[in-house]
């Protein structure tokens, strides 16, 4: 199954919304939603630096969802001068957010490290590239990460 | 440094992106950990790596990188080549090991220049 547009809508309040289902069963396809968002933001004429920040933060989030939570949903909303990214999963939740935010701390299995991820940089990178990031998490229920990039 | 110069310095084989040989590369990054690559934005960079999977291409695309060099004779898969073509990223493969490949590029004038994003 390929990640892709499942819904694109332009609503009346000048925002543009993209919704993706992130497939949790394939590491190979992880990142497809971010690639699609990057293309769409380019077409919209968003400044290159903002596009890069959105795509990297979203890409790290997508990879995290595949590694830790069997996938989830990603929503991107484009406003006049900022972009909101919401990543929602129904995974195990994050027991200790402070620890998870530390560079180098990772609970990813060894096989993920051999694929080039699980270095404990995912959440720190997401915070690094965004202007605002909030994490809501509940053990056994899931995690919702909301990020804002201003431009 | 042009991609053609990287190819010559590393005695590398072109996998795809011949039409990008004249593109300029201003900085470089050598790593097998993609999250480390994603931590520092560099301008029009080349990625040197021994890792072979499709996330290498996606990482380079997210970072707006223009070229990837696979060290130790690693060869990208057909899927990866296809992704790279779609993203306009040149792929090279060299017999050199990571340390030597990085050293040769550095000596040739391509310094890291990895300004941290604030």
Global ipTM: 0.87
Nearest to B47 by CA among B15, B89, B82: B89
Give the pLDDT confidence score for residue B113 in this predicted structure.
64
B98 touches chain A (CB under 8 A): no
What residues form DSSP beta bridges with B69? Answer: B48, B92
What domain range is B10 assigned to? 3-107
Chain B positions touching A101 (Cβ under 8 A) are: none
Question: Which pLDDT band holds residue B116 (cuts at 50, 70, 90)?
Answer: very low
The predicted-structure confidence for B24-46, as pLDDT tens digits, reads as follows: 999 999 999 998 999 887 878 99
With CB atoms and an 8 Å threshold, state whether B117 touches A128: yes
Q: Is residue B118 part of a domain?
A: no
Give the pLDDT confidence score for residue A12 in this predicted structure.
42
Chain mean pLDDT for chain B = 93
Q: Is residue B116 part of a domain?
A: no
Residue B115: pLDDT over 90: no
Q: Is residue B112 part of a domain?
A: no
% of chain B with per-residue pLDDT over 70: 95
With CB atoms and an 8 Å threshold, state whether B38 touches A55: no
Q: Is residue B117 part of a domain?
A: no
With CB atoms and an 8 Å threshold, state whether A27 touches B55: yes
What are chain A's domains?
7-150 (3.30.565.10)
pTM of the model: 0.89
B35 touches chain A (CB under 8 A): yes
B59 touches chain A (CB under 8 A): yes
B33 touches chain A (CB under 8 A): yes
State the CATH number of the domain containing residue B80: 3.40.1390.20
Compute the average pLDDT of residues B81-88. Answer: 96
Residues 6 or more apart in contact with residue B64 via CB below 8 angstroms:
A48, A52, B44
Domains contained in chain B, number: 1
Give the pLDDT confidence score for residue A15 in this predicted structure.
78
Give the pLDDT confidence score for residue B68 in this predicted structure.
98
Give the pLDDT confidence score for residue B40 in this predicted structure.
83
What is the SS3 assignment for A27-84? CCCCCHHHHHHHHHHHHCCCCHHHHHHHHHHHHHHHHHHHHHHCEEEEEEEECCCEEE
The pLDDT profile of chain A, 151 residues, written as one tens digit per residue, is 344 444 444 444 557 999 999 999 989 889 999 999 999 999 999 999 999 999 999 999 999 999 999 999 999 999 999 999 999 999 999 999 999 999 999 999 999 999 999 999 999 999 999 999 999 999 999 999 999 999 9
Partner residue opposite A52 with nearest CB, options B39, B64, B87: B64
Chain A positions touching B55 (Cβ under 8 A) are: 27-28, 30-31, 63, 115-117
B18 touches chain A (CB under 8 A): no
């Amino acid at each position: 199954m390929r990640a892709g547009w499942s819904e694109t809508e332009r609503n009346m309040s000048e925002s543009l919304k993209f919704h993706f289902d992130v497939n949790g069963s394939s590491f190979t396809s992880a990142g497809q939603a971010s690639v699609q968002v990057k293309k769409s933001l380019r077409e919209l004429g968003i400044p290159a630096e903002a596009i890069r920040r959105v795509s990297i933060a979203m890409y790290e989030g997508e990879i995290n969802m595949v590694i830790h939570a069997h996938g989830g949903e990603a929503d991107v909303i484009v406003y006049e001068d900022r972009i909101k990214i919401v990543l929602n999963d129904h995974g195990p939740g994050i027991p200790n957010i402070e620890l998870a935010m530390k560079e180098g701390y990772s609970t990813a299995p060894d096989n993920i490290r051999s694929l080039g991820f699980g270095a404990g940089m995912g959440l720190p990178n997401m915070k690094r590239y965004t202007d605002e990031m909030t994490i809501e998490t509940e053990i056994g229920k899931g995690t919702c990460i909301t990020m804002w990039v201003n431009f | 440094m042009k991609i053609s110069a990287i190819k010559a310095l590393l005695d590398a084989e072109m996998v795809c992106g011949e039409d990008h040989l004249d593109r300029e590369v201003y900085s470089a990054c050598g790593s097998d950990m993609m999250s480390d690559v994603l931590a520092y934005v560099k301008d029009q960079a080349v990625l040197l790596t021994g890792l072979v999977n499709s996330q290498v291409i996606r990482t380079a695309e997210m970072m707006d990188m223009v070229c990837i060099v696979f060290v130790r004779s690693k060869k990208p898969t057909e899927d990866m080549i296809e992704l790279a073509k779609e993203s306009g990223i040149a792929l090279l493969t060299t017999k050199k090991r990571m340390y030597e490949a990085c050293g040769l590029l550095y000596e040739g004038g391509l310094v890291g220049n990895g300004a941290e994003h604030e």
